[in-house]
Amino acid sequence: MGKESGLKAENYFQSRMNQAGLSSEYIDSFYDFDVCGVKVEVKSCSPCVRQRSNRKDSHRSGRFDFTCLSNRELQYQENVWVCLIVRANDDFLMLGFLKARQLNKRRYLALNQYRRHKLLTFDEWVSIVNR
């Protein structure tokens, strides 16, 4: 997704933090937010994207694109939380949270593969942050 789409997803994330009464600060480092002392990277994708192959227009499942290798290594070392958000136009769906080490420094995570990972729901994650 483009930078503008990513910023919209980050704004959505921050608004959800505000609704939950959690203090969050945008960092823009190898992670995006500090939420009550917890590091969070926000990743978003579209449910379906266009691709061109062999001169035919086709579609494929969206995928979460993880940042450059140096950032992925820092995220892995720090084991930051990764929040997965699906975006369709101006509608958002927060799929859940997982730790960076669960991704094992992957470059992409296809939308149809996220179920292979145990994601925490928003409420489960908030209860962990509030401890």
Count the Cβ atoms, other than its own, within 10 Å of residue 87.
19
Confidence at residue 46, expressed as pLDDT on a 0 to 100 scale:
79
Domain 3-129 in CATH 3.40.50.970? The answer is no
The reported pLDDT for the residue numbered 114 is 76
User: Which residue in 10, 24, 8, 4 sits closest to 129, CA to CA?
Assistant: 24
Domain ranges of the chain: 3-129
The pLDDT profile of the chain, 131 residues, written as one tens digit per residue, is 456 777 899 999 999 999 999 999 999 899 999 999 999 999 988 776 666 666 567 766 677 878 788 888 999 999 999 999 999 888 999 999 999 999 877 787 877 777 788 899 999 999 999 98
pLDDT for residue 49? 66
Which pLDDT value is given to residue 55? 59
pLDDT at res. 1? 45
DSSP class per residue in the chain = --HHHHHHHHHHHHHHHHHTT--EEE--SSSSEEETTEEEEEEEE-SEEEEEETTEEEEEE-EEEP--HHHHHHHHHHT-EEEEEEEETTEEEEEEEEEHHHHTT-SEEEGGGGGGS-PBPHHHHHHHHT-
